[in-house]
Structure 1
Amino acid sequence: MRKLTVNRQVEKKIQKGHKILEKIDFEELPIENQLVELVSGSGRSLGTAYLSEQNKGIGWVLSSQKISLDQAYFTKLFSQAKAKRQSYYQSDLDTAFRLFNQEGDGFGGLTVDLYGDYAVFSIYNHFVFSIRELLVAAFQEVFPEVLGGYEKIRFKAPGYESAHLFGQEAPETFCILENGVHYQVFLNDGLMTGIFLDQHEVRASLVDGLATGKSLLNMFSYTAAFSVAAAMGGALETTSVDLAKRSRELSEAHFLANGLELDQHRLIVMDVFDFYKYAKRHELSYDVIVLDPPSFARNKKRTFSVAKDYHKLIEQSLEILNPKGILIASTNAANVSRDKFKKEIEKGFKGRKHRYISEVGLPADFRYNEKEESSNYLKVFTIRVDE
């Protein structure tokens, strides 16, 4: 195993429990896509990492000790991860959840999600891709009940995004349960699956009655999972807005899977900011508005960044929110801290009175590194507007 000497700044980060290695901390890296022993300037061993460039950095710290990545090592990691999710296995309300979550379960660059009888491996860099046969062998040892698996390639290679990885092939579409609600998913059609599992707790609040007897507007709705959860929780009507044309078909599937007629549930293909104008022009208003945009988006008309533009969503939502209405403000932007996100929200309120009802981050199956704030990337505030 080659050695990589790190500067004092990186050494301090490692000692604080940080797992991600960032490109900005290294002037040059002659090593890539392999295990390395990290050593301090004085030659003291700091543990084992692997180097492989990805969207979050150039590698991950794995252990404070020297380790070998063999099948036994990954079998142990998967076994520990499975033991920590027994409450999900015992639930009659959930058949889809995260089995393994990067550094939260001891190995950055890999996530594994369960969708009924099938697993989805998300691979974030070349190094993890190169050892995926080893990962699959260890996974099948620990999860023999999983019938088959798929891979999602979340870096620039090897020329495809999604593929069948092992075992049986899943049906083209099928239903999973979350909080007792059915959602139709698909495992081998690009990077998406039809639902974002990290929003489990937010959808639970809607199923449990946050929008009972109310109207709900779901912006950047994707497949309208929030709207379906609200409808199952007693919402009188929902409106789901997304620019992607395919979102309508995928959203309808979720509603129909739960026996919900679409009469009181509108699905609108439109740019969100154009819809604000449309709603004001037609004097539409809502009791609950969900704001869960992508971290960054660009279309022919405009670009949107959570870090710079989220306050605009708050401002415009307040103009179509009914008195004493509720806003659900959400972001999965790892580069936007909780405090920064809250400041962006407050900027949009411009002094209007409001109360924070609840705050949630990642659900329990999405284990994260508590020593690194960006690891708990999800930030969701439920806010009641008092005026």
Structure 2
Amino acid sequence: MTAEIMIKPNPKFTKQFQKGFPLLNKDNVLTDLNDLVEGTILTLTDSKRNFIARGYYGKQNKGLGWLVSWKEQEAIDGAFFDRKLQNAVNQRLHFFYDEDTTAFRVFNSEGDGFGGITLDYFEGYYLIQWYSKGAYSFKEDIISAIKKLPNYKGLYQKKRFSIEGKYVDEDDFVDGDRPSFPLLVKENGVQFAIYLNDGAMVGVFLDQREVRKRIRDEYADGKKVLNTFSYTGAFSVFAALGGAAETTSVDLANRSLSKTIEQFSINGIDYESENIIVEDVFKYFKFAVKKELSFDMVILDPPSFARSKKHTFSASKDYKDLLKEAIAITKKNGVIVASTNCSTFDMKKFKGFIDKAFKETGGSYKLLEEYSLPEDFKTINQYKQGDYLKVVFIKKY
């Protein structure tokens, strides 16, 4: 039986919690949670001991735990997880019948009612990511619920929490049949090679699906495209399939070369006709300026935080300067696809970075269109930080 304790909110935040705000942190809770066992059930009550919500203690980078039920009689048990997961699936049934897209998110943390986990689908195989030991403490009930989901072939997991400062590194296989890797999945008819058994990254970030499709269908034809922080080259593959005259993919990670070659090859693209460069993106920008290289489209999708030997990049501090580097090598009437997954600022502030970057370079621009998370990455209005993705297509004049 999981322990359960009563906790008190900071009175300033009581109304927020009553309206459905799900995240517990040191500022909005008066009770000291630090000595609790992760996974402890928490019942949040007001000053008169009236029930507000129930959740659990689980430390992750966002906070100390999550509220998951605003129904006083609802227990956090196997039936609870069956309901949550089935409801999430019901809202995404059309994805399960889409033959052109066989990889998508099935359960998106607090957006689907249980912060601390995500569940993705890859051609019959499910991947759960645990973001705290607290979330992981519910593993038996959650895994049991997952095994009842549609087209279930097997389950893999990634533990995103650390034990004694180190991230857990073990066999990611949990249950079912083991596929042969790479596992080939489709996104809008384009193939991706997926590795569920090979470290933290699987081969593609599913939240950029709509942006990749837009680049292929509307922007790439005949264009010279630069894809920075390119990872496995997904944007480059879509650009090439959209008729790009040339793609250049730049990423610091050594494995990006073989991974990008693989993604081009499984889609019938001659990778030798594309440019794949293993280099620090900041160094490449300087090289491009020196060699007077310029591009019709520059895709900027950096991690929120990155460190190389010579550079430390923080999206909240450095995105404006990164944009200035991109502006310098974008042709007149060219397009910059500016993207960030940093949750510490909103779209309004992001557009402020764009405006400052152009003003400081003396250029003019037009915002063409913008994107946030796709529908399978469900978010809730009570927790705006959950809608982390910001993508803006910018035309340079």
TM-score (norm 2): 0.94
For residues 82-134 of structure 1, the C-alpha deviation after alignment (integer angstroms, 9 at most, x for no partner) is 11112212222100000111111111111000111211000011122122121
For residues 320-342 of structure 1, the C-alpha deviation after alignment (integer angstroms, 9 at most, x for no partner) is 11110001000001112222222
- The counterpart of 2:13, out of the listed 6, 10, 32, is 10
Is 1:63 paired with 2:74?
no
For residues 189-219 of structure 1, the C-alpha deviation after alignment (integer angstroms, 9 at most, x for no partner) is 1110000001111111022131111011001
Indicate conservation of the 8 Å contact 1:162/1:191, yes or no: no
Where does residue 384 of structure 2 map in the other structure?
Answer: 373
| SS of residue matched to 1:50 | strand
Superposed, which structure 2 residues align to 1:92-241 within 5 Å?
92-143=99-150, 145-157=151-163, 159-160=168-169, 163-241=172-250
Closer, same or farther: CA 121–292 of 1 in aligned 2, 3 Å: same
- The counterpart of 2:369, out of the listed 358, 361, 369, is 358
- The counterpart of 1:52, out of the listed 53, 58, 63, is 58
Is 1:317 paired with 2:317?
no
* Deviation of the 1:264 alpha carbon: 3.0
The AA in structure 2 aligned to 1:132 is: K
Indicate conservation of the 8 Å contact 1:170/1:187, yes or no: no
**Residues paired across the two proteins, number:** 385
Closer, same or farther: CA 365–182 of 1 in aligned 2, 3 Å: same
Unaligned runs of 5+ in 2: none
**Cα RMSD between the aligned structures?**
1.4
Indicate conservation of the 8 Å contact 1:213/1:236, yes or no: yes
* Deviation of the 1:352 alpha carbon: 2.1
Partners of 1:286 and 1:47 in 2: CA distance: 53
Closer, same or farther: CA 94–123 of 1 in aligned 2, 3 Å: same
* Deviation of the 1:20 alpha carbon: 1.1
* Deviation of the 1:162 alpha carbon: 5.4
Partners of 2:171 and 2:63 in 1: CA distance: 23
Superposed, which structure 2 residues align to 1:218-367 within 5 Å?
218-350=227-359, 352-367=363-378
Partners of 2:365 and 2:170 in 1: CA distance: 43
Unaligned runs of 5+ in 1: none
Indicate conservation of the 8 Å contact 1:174/1:185, yes or no: yes
Where does residue 31 of structure 1 map in the other structure?
Answer: 36
The AA in structure 2 aligned to 1:48 is: R
For residues 198-245 of structure 1, the C-alpha deviation after alignment (integer angstroms, 9 at most, x for no partner) is 111111102213111101100100111000011111111100000001
Larger mean Cα displacement after TM superposition, 337-346 or 363-372: 337-346
The AA in structure 2 aligned to 1:316 is: E
* Deviation of the 1:161 alpha carbon: 5.7
TM-score (norm 1): 0.96
